[in-house]
Amino acid sequence: MAGFKLDEPYFIPRDEVKPHPMLTRMIFPWVEDEYARASMKSGANRDIAAKCFLRLLMEFRVTILQVSSSSILIIYLAPFLDICIYTCRMPSS
């Protein structure tokens, strides 16, 4: 998957960023309440897909913050590193 060999270790730099739980709860702040509401339903009213989707949103909060923090760093450093962060021509040497 993703071009990695099964026996080859890999490293995802964004995984080093561990956002504070209070910050993660600011993204989709309503998701815990909706998850609790979906969990209370039973029998024919039970919606397993909704619970799974809400759980996925909870997991994505960390990923959203990890990706945005690395993007902010790249945008901030781009002028100093002489790199192009948008679709454009690279400076000629």
Domain assignment of residue 11, yes or no: no
Domain assignment of residue 1, yes or no: no
Residue type at position 35: Y
What would the pLDDT profile of 33-63 be if each residue is shown by its tens digit?
Answer: 999 999 998 887 788 899 999 999 999 999 8
Domain assignment of residue 47, yes or no: yes
Domain assignment of residue 58, yes or no: yes
Report pTM: 0.63
What's residue 90's pLDDT? Answer: 46
Domain containing 70: what range? 18-81
Domain assignment of residue 89, yes or no: no
The domain total for the chain is 1
Residues in the chain: 93
Domain assignment of residue 91, yes or no: no
Longest dimension (CA), the chain: 67
Domain assignment of residue 22, yes or no: yes
Domain assignment of residue 93, yes or no: no
Q: What is the mean pLDDT of residues 5-32?
A: 84
